[in-house]
Amino acid sequence: MWLVMWSGMEGRRPAVVLPTSTVIVQPSPFCNIDCDYCYLPARLDRTRMSMESVRSIVQFLFGVTEFAPVVDVAWHAGEPLVVPRSFYRAAFAEFARLSDRGVRCVHQFQTNGTLITEAWCEFMREHTMLIGLSIDGPAELHDRHRKDRYGRGTFNRAMAGAKLLAKSGIEFSVTSVLTVDSLMRPDLVCDWIEECGITSIGFNVEEIEGAHLTSTLAGDDATALYRQFFSTLYEFTKTHPEVRIREIVDSRNLLLRPTSCSFVNGENALGSILNFDVNGRVSTFSPELLSIAPTSRYRSFTWAHVTEDDFSTFVERVTGSAFYEDLAVGVAACARECEYFGVCGGGAPGNKFSELGTVTGTETMTCRLRVKTLMDVMAGVLEREGEQSHRHIRGRAPSRQQRVAEPHGRG
């Protein structure tokens, strides 16, 4: 059941508050390396979250109306391993109190891997955590963009961390950022995946977001390169079925889901994702909004503080904001104008604002690549395999073979 709350403003529509499924916590904005595409503006800031703030976050969460059966608690928005294990032991114990609400928390780190030690592996194993490693492929690609503060590549240190995890029997997934360098060498990426025995990997595009104001993917050739990259990766998975590529699996599931199943984009849904920065400020929607400076139109991207406000106050402030009003306009425009809305749900507001300066807009470079181009690639693949993949993309006609095979009334 979704909670419907009135904002208290005359004439404003009710707000639908989704069950919370993801909690992002920033233990520190500091990062020990200096990737040139990072969106975080304060990654030299060594501030650490206090345990008092952690307790206040948990108390704030007790006021949340509804949770998903399992809640992912991601320690993110900085390098999580710069904060000592003693902090996480105490923090995890605080979050365990949410079991009184029937909530099962699964903790996860997204780490650059360079600080992983045997002691960290023991801690991760003890707490049955989900671990994501940020590695951009082989050294030739990774070290162009993921350098330390002395300008040195970090590939060898990241892979040493990966080997420690594997040695300790800890499963992990890999997240790679796609720059134009990566898109031009899908062969290198495939060879690296095979050589390293990676079985789970996802690819983020190099976004214009937060402190990162330009992208190597802004050129006219990016769409063709992106299409060729994922076409190559799909062929790779046919001979390496043990490898789960997030974009291929997720897009396939979206395209082949029953027409009765609607798609909700959590980054546009109030309450689905709750974000807490190192100082206890609270946001929702895209996690990247925590790091974006306010504007004259959007006076804040955080709407509560865990030591001062409760969840109902937070919802009232969100729904009474110009940001929320504009977000609804932008999602409605996407629904009206974009044939890919059924597999996207209106884009990511953090990305929309960073590229367009507003959340009322529609297409961005990021959605053009990771939604439209990717879905076109996968729809084409699935159609060639005889699947009915056109039904969630408006205006996309099925192949002639499908039109003959489908009974009347199916679209």
The whole-number pLDDT of residue 258 equals: 83
> Can you tell me the mean pLDDT for 129-136?
97
**What DSSP string runs through 149-215?**
TTS-B-HHHHHHHHHHHHHTT---EEEEEE-HHHHT-HHHHHHHHHHHT--EEEEEE---BTTB---
d(CA 107, CA 89): 11
d(CA 195, CA 205): 23
Strands 130-134 and 104-111: parallel
Assigned CATH topology for domain 14-256: TIM Barrel (3.20.20)
Q: Where are the domains of the chain?
A: 14-256
Whose tokens are 């050129």? That residue is 219
- Bigger pLDDT: 262 vs 395: 262
Confidence tier at 390 by pLDDT (50, 70, 90): low
First to last CA, the chain: 29
d(CA 96, CA 33): 31
Q: What mean pLDDT, rounded, does the chain reach?
A: 90
Contact between residue 350 and residue 382 where contact means Cβ atoms under 8 Å apart:
no
Per-position b or e across 376-411, b if 16+ CB within 10 A of its CB: bbbbbbbbeeeebbbbbbeebebbeebeeeeeeeee
pLDDT at 400 over 70: no
Name which of 154-163, 226-235, 389-398 the model is least confident about: 389-398
**What DSSP string runs through 326-348?**
HHHHHHHHHHHH-TTGGGTSS--
Q: Tokens at residue 253, please?
A: 């599931």
**What pLDDT digit, counting tens, does each position of 140-187 carry?**
999 999 999 999 999 999 999 999 999 999 999 999 999 999 999 999
pTM of the model: 0.89
pLDDT at 30 over 90: yes
337 CB contacts (<8 Å, ≥6 apart)? 362
Instruction: Read off the DSSP letter of residue 369.
Output: I
Nearest Cα neighbor of 107 from 134, 76, 84, 82 is 76
Strands 15-17 and 200-205: unpaired
d(CA 178, CA 199): 18
Instruction: Read off the DSSP letter of residue 25.
Output: E
pLDDT at 396 over 80: no
20 CB contacts (<8 Å, ≥6 apart)? 61, 64, 66, 67, 68, 71, 271, 272, 273, 274
- Bigger pLDDT: 109 vs 13: 109
Per-position b or e across 310-326, b if 16+ CB within 10 A of its CB: ebeebbbbbbbbebbbb
- Quick one: CA dihedral 283, 285, 288, 289, positive or negative? negative
pLDDT at 223 over 60: yes
d(CA 16, CA 380): 35
**What pLDDT digit, counting tens, does each position of 263-302 carry?**
889 999 999 999 999 999 999 999 999 989 999 999 999 9
